[in-house]
């Protein structure tokens, strides 16, 4: 199936009140685990590649492999640049065939964020690619510390968000409502009233970043109040590491241990992806 844009994949999620998981791909094992699970579960899925992960792989080779896998697949898939920070890398992603760009100008002053996001939207339009952006500051940092927390002063402002969406024409907006990247320090408390208002005022799908520390109930509530895309990485990365550790504790050396370990890692990622898709309500939606 050809890949589809973020706008297209979120339309159905938004109208039928479920969320599409956006899972980060860092190698062929993550890719296979995520896509296989989505296929087995008849779930739409978003594959994220984060700009901060670019130094860890060859981006054009990895995206060529992903494109191939998407073509072979039987489910709708969006290939999204996660936290695009520089025009240089956004252009690389567009040339590598991404169908969605998340541009993160949330660290900029409000006016500057509008200006930069507009430039990205214009550029992406010429590629027929969707744009997600972020307003307010989600706690922690993408690719930063393992443990983060949210700062209420940086939650998405409702009036600013209305202006931002109107002036930039983005297809989806990542909101800061008490969520945080990485593992949350303590229990996150999401500001559902703010989310409800953002949802009714903005009229575009909303995105929750930092999905690894949020409870099942809170996810479900967030989806009910307008979240259509949920980013998820830390939980998968931790599961993979834990599996590798257990594999090497007490195993005898064999020539194919590395391959066996990767097989187990893939299985552990699959397990966690199924769990999340179940919570997000995306299973059986294809």
By C-beta, is 51 or 142 nearer to Zn ion?
A: 142
Residue 194's contacts (CB-CB under 8 Å, 6 or more residues apart) are: 155, 156, 158, 175, 177
Q: What are phi and psi of 228, to 5 degrees?
A: -115, -10
Please state the closest distance from residue 210 (CB atom) to Zn ion, in A.
Answer: 6
CB 106 within 8 A of CB 117: no
Angle at 145 between CA 115 and CA 103, to 5 degrees: 20
Strands 20-24 and 183-184 turn out to be unpaired
* Nearer Cβ to Zn ion (83/270): 83
Q: In 3D, which of 202, 204, 206 has the Cα closest to residue 223? A: 206
Q: Which of 27, 82, 151, 249 is catalytic?
A: 82
Taking the complex as a whole, the smallest distance from the CB of residue 71 to Zn ion amounts, in Å, to 27
Q: How far apart are CB 142 and Zn ion at their closest, in Å?
A: 5
Specify whether 82 is catalytic: yes
Question: In the complex, what is the shortest distance from the CB of residue 231 to Zn ion, in angstroms, rounded to a whole number?
Answer: 5
CA–CA dist 262, 276 (Å, integer): 21
Residues that bind Zn ion (CB under 5 A): 142, 209
Q: Measure CA of the first residue to CA of the last residue in the chain; give whole Å.
A: 12
Question: CB nearest Zn ion: which residue?
Answer: 209
Residues with catalytic function: 82
């Amino acid at each position: 199936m050809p890949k589809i844009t973020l706008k297209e994949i979120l339309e159905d999620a938004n109208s039928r009140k479920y969320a599409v998981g956006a899972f980060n791909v860092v190698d062929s094992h993550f890719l296979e685990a995520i896509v296989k699970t989505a296929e087995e579960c008849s779930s739409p899925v978003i594959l994220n590649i984060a700009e901060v992960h670019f130094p860890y792989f060859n981006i054009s080779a990895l995206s060529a492999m992903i494109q191939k896998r998407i073509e072979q697949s039987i489910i709708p898939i969006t290939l999204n640049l996660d936290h695009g920070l520089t025009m240089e890398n956004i252009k690389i992603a567009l040339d590598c065939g991404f169908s969605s760009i998340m541009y993160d100008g949330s660290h900029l002053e409000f006016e500057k964020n509008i200006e930069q996001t507009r430039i990205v939207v214009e550029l992406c339009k010429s590629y027929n690619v969707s744009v997600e952006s972020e307003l307010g500051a989600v706690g922690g940092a993408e690719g930063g510390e393992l443990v983060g927390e949210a700062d209420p002063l940086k939650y998405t402002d409702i009036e600013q968000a209305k202006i931002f969406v109107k002036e930039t024409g983005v297809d989806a907006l990542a909101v800061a409502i008490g969520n945080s990247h990485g593992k949350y320090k303590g229990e996150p408390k999401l500001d559902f009233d703010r989310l409800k208002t953002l949802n009714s005022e903005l009229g575009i799908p909303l995105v929750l970043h930092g999905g690894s520390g949020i409870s099942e109930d809170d996810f479900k509530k967030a989806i009910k109040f307008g979240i259509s895309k949920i980013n998820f990485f830390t939980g998968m990365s931790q599961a993979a590491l834990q599996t590798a550790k257990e594999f090497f504790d007490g195993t005898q050396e064999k020539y194919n241990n590395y391959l066996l370990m990767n097989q187990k890692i893939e299985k552990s990622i699959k397990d966690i992806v199924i769990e999340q898709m179940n919570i997000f309500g995306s299973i059986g939606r294809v």
